[in-house]
Amino acid sequence: MTLILSVFQAVLIAGFAPAVSWFIKKMKAVSQNRVGPRFFQVYFDLIKLFRKGMVISGTASWVFHAAPYVFFGGTIAAALMLPVIWKGALCGFMGDAILFVYLLALGRFFLVLAALDTGTAFGGMGSSREMFLSSLAEPALLLSFFSIGFHTKTLSLTGMMSVLAADSPHRVIFFVSLAFGAVLILAIAESGRIPVDNPATHLELTMVHEAMVLEYSGRYLALLEWGHQIKQLLFLTLLANLFFPWGIPDTFNAVPIVLSLLLYAGKIAVAAWVIGWIEIHFAKLRLFRVPDFLAVAFVLALLSFLGQLMVGRGA
Amino acid sequence: MGKLVLAQFLFYVLGGLAGFLRRKNPEHSNRIACVSALAAGVSGMFYSAGILLSGKGIALSFRGGVPLCGAVFLEVDALSAFFIFLISFLSVPVSIFALGYNREYFGKKNVPLLGLFYNFFLLSMVLVTMARNIFVFLTAWEIMSLVSYFLVVTEHENPKARRAGLLYFVMTHAGTAFIAGAFWLLFSASGALAFDAFRAHAAMLSPGLKNVVFFCALVGFGTKAGMIPFHIWLPEAHPEAPSPISALMSGAMIKTAIYALLRFIFFFLGPVYFWWGAVLLGFGIFSVLVGILYALMEKDLKRLLAFSSIENIGIILLGIGMGVVLISSRQPIFALFAVAAALYHALNHAAFKGLLFLGAGSVLSGTHTRNIEELGGLIKKMPWTAACFLTGSAAISALPPLNGFVSEWMTLLALFSGVDCEGFGIRFFSVVLASLLGLAGALAATCFVKAFGIAFLGLPRSPRAECAREGSRSMKIGMITLALSCFGLGLAAPVIVPILGKLSGELTTEISGNIPLIHGSFLVFPGGWSQISLPWVFGVMAVSLSVIAAAMTVFAGRVSVKTGPSWDCGMRGLTPRMQYSGTGYSKPIRRIFSFLYQPSRKVEVEDEGYSVLRTAKHFESGIRPLFEETIYRPMAKFALYFSEKAKRIQTGHIQIYLGYIFVTLLALLLFTRVSS
């Protein structure tokens, strides 16, 4: 039962991820008085890409071929560590939040190398910007995890969530709400959303993620796009399950699990709505303003930790 | 065991000398030197591993009359054995690599002499870790410095190499002066020359004296280790040496300073003080951040690696410093974990930095340039070097499941464990330091994406890169061995960590029981915060990758793959000049950290009579070498000024000099008269 549920969680994350992208796209479309894509369009797009032939640059080497797999594999491995609708995860035992951060870094490492592999100016630009931004995002993410870990006395993601879920709501809100702000900013940065990156344009002044995957087509592009959507959902799940950990069962009865599934969908919808709202109402920041934005995340995480130091650990 | 130690010595000495027998034939001479170093390395690995596993050290005593110190006494305890293992382990693949690499020097350099220096360099490093007496230690230390100086100036026809050598010579001797001072203070306090006596006497040292000795040792060994701000020789000297030597200097030699520092702090100076740990942490985080930020700006591949060595020394210092802080905060188990993390990182750094320097050496011999702006596309021409360099880059960027990740994870947790101590400062700063280490890890990833991506991927940027060719077979074997050990040292963490834990327990605590650091294939943080299993990570990633690949072929079938040109924005054909350059790649970082770099750019514009038709004729950009300009240049200026003044009393007349002697004599006589 545990196993089935854990595998289901992984499938859920992978299957649900395109829907979240659709939700944000649809929100934007509606706000601009457009009709927007149908729900199944995102899935059809992925299926179409998986079936299409590929054109690979003559300059590319094996790094270009390996990158989509490593990126997708690293993201999936990170996803397997995250509790979604119950208090366990398939591979939650194999590591902690630090491993989670570095598994995402592994995928990114290969993706930015692949961007350099084709020898185009676009690839180099996207690669350089992505590393620049993620270098600043990573310490903030680690610090957020440390801040939460300080309260929960564990760094494992499943453990953190269990402790927070058992806490009374006002204590959770009190101790880790500042870290929530930090992780929200990082979720925006890591999933390439406005105001850090603009997923909708192919303009060299603004793009980061799109510039890196410009040379990809067909199956590889599908893997990268899907992986990117999963990564976005991972961060939203972090937001939902670490900061609003209520209603997640640790028993295997059908009713709590189904309720928890609905609740999860609701929480993700709210988090996606927040991201979409920001995307609709803000313009993209200039590239050299983004470090300030990420610095806010760092400071929020630091304040969250500092607050706990001053007031008490709350154990 | 003792026989293996002697065998190692003999291989080094005889192998170094035997090269001269075939001096007419450099190929043979090189082979003798490298193979004997290889054999010595293998025997060193055997006995040191045996000592680490059994915990029983060996002592060797050579009777005979060495003036001032009597019988030469050498000993290998667990700490020495660990560092001997590190040196020997690195020397094996490096020696294999040197077999092929040194062909560069046939007919140009004195190959037997190079072989002699090479073997004696390794021997002196091993001796440093075995010495149990001030004189033996300082002699071995000095041989190590001198021999490595000669190796740095191997290409002495190049003025840059001579300059780097001189700087190294001056800095390393300034450091040795501090080390000698530390030893002298210990000697005057305990009245003995032997290390055992220092250890026995440690508890009786006065706090003031301990602080002074710690300061001297920190500056002296910090200079050798490349700790900022005593690092300025390192990025000059390491790149100028032949690449196998660079690998040894960065991988092993700077670790001897870590060894000596550990011995000083934990053996000679007895119970440690909190503020030592704070100082070590301060120097550590400073070295980590400044080292990697300067590495990011480099376009010389070997200088980039040298700056990154400074970063890694910083990580090791963070581990040691946190160990000291935790001991004095009465958290011995966490302290054990912290020092074990530092030791593990020292070993891992030897593996991946050795690998990267060998890779850089392979690039250098294949293209005859170290400037990454002239490289590009090497992955097609040198596939093996590329794969190995990529492995090293991933390992040094602390990516799972490679070895760099394990020690970085341990260091992060060791820092984070500070939150369990008393006191606001330590709790706050330990977490800040941990996140700054995370920043450095991310910057290191950026740095090595740049190094690998610009040098090996894309289109060749110069004819040199176009005509590159893969190195010889022995060079490939040397690199592949180290690349595999990067995987091995990561996946074997559950085997390695208990050994390191035991060693670190001897240093930091009196606790002799088993501290559970592992549980099956899991590495467990003793505070119970966290656990990790790299074999599992590796397995899960492998399984998920094969599931993805299988699912794709089953559900979507095979698809056609065509090769076409890269997207060139509708222009006709991409040229290599359109790619991002290394300098361009790190431009965003240069911009936001401009307070450190203080970048300068100069554009000289000429217009041919029409101000709208301007053509930039000359462009210059650079960063300000902050430490050289703010610390070392004024010091050098002061020394020069002082010597200028001292010249006044140097007239060259013999009468004057006799007068000086007479006056000195009178003064001394008066002094003895008065004092008696």
Closest CA to B282 of B332, B229, B337, B240: B229
CB of A136 within 8 Å of a chain B CB? The answer is yes
Using CB atoms within 10 A of its CB, is residue B269 exposed (0-12), middle (13-18) or buried (19+)? buried
Are A143 and B564 an interchain contact pair (Cβ–Cβ within 8 Å)? no
Residue B510 has a pLDDT of 63
Residue B363 has a pLDDT of 95
CB of A295 within 8 Å of a chain B CB? The answer is no
For the cut 70, the answer to whether the pLDDT of residue B68 exceeds it is: no
Residue ranges of B 249-308 with Cβ closer than 8 A to chain A = none
Average pLDDT over residues A229-233: 96
- Tokens 């006056």 found at: B663
Nearest to A131 among B413, B449, B557 (CB): B449
Residue A315 has a pLDDT of 54
Question: Is pLDDT larger for residue B529 or for residue A15?
Answer: A15
Nearest CA of chain B to the CA of A252: how many Å?
25
Whether the bond between B625 and the residue before it is cis, its omega within 30 degrees of 0, is: no
> pLDDT of B626-653, one tens digit each?
888 899 999 999 999 999 998 888 878 8
Question: Contacts of residue B377 in chain A, CB cutoff 8 Å?
Answer: 59, 119
For B291, other C-beta atoms within 10 Å of its C-beta total 29
The alpha carbon of B382 is separated from its chain's Cα centroid by a whole number of angstroms, namely 26
> pLDDT of B305-331, one tens digit each?
999 999 999 999 999 999 999 999 988
Task: Decide if A23 contacts A37 (C-beta within 8 A).
Answer: no
> pLDDT of B334-369, one tens digit each?
999 999 999 999 999 999 999 999 999 999 999 999
Question: Contacts of residue B446 in chain A, CB cutoff 8 Å?
Answer: 131-132, 135
For the cut 90, the answer to whether the pLDDT of residue B58 exceeds it is: no
Residue B167 has a pLDDT of 93
Q: Please tell me the least confidently modeled range out of A274-288, B224-238, B309-323, B619-633.
A: B619-633
Nearest CA of chain A to the CA of B401: how many Å?
9
Q: Please tell me the least confidently modeled range out of A72-76, A176-180, B318-322.
A: A176-180
Question: Is pLDDT larger for residue A247 or for residue A260?
Answer: A260
Closest CA to A121 of B455, B374, B465, B585: B585
pTM for this predicted structure: 0.94
For the cut 70, the answer to whether the pLDDT of residue B64 exceeds it is: no
In whole angstroms, what is the distance from residue B397 CA to residue B408 CA?
9
Task: Decide if A120 contacts A274 (C-beta within 8 A).
Answer: no
Question: Contacts of residue B311 in chain A, CB cutoff 8 Å?
Answer: none
Q: How confident is the model at residue A164 (pLDDT cuts 50, 70, 90)?
A: confident
Residue of chain A whose alpha carbon sits nearest to that of B416: A146
- Tokens 């190195």 found at: B471
Token pair, residue A231, equals 């990564």
For B653, other C-beta atoms within 10 Å of its C-beta total 9
Are B565 and A101 an interchain contact pair (Cβ–Cβ within 8 Å)? no
Alpha helices by DSSP H, listed for chain A, are 2-31, 41-51, 62-80, 97-117, 121-152, 157-166, 169-190, 209-212, 218-243, 254-281, 290-311
Task: Decide if A182 contacts A148 (C-beta within 8 A).
Answer: no
CB of A38 within 8 Å of a chain B CB? The answer is no
* Interface predicted TM-score of the whole assembly (ipTM), two decimals: 0.96
Percent of chain A with pLDDT over 70: 99
Residue A314 has a pLDDT of 63
Question: Contacts of residue A100 in chain B, CB cutoff 8 Å?
Answer: none
Q: Please tell me the least confidently modeled range out of A78-82, A124-128, A162-166, B68-72.
A: B68-72
CB of B366 within 8 Å of a chain A CB? The answer is no
The alpha carbon of A238 is separated from its chain's Cα centroid by a whole number of angstroms, namely 8
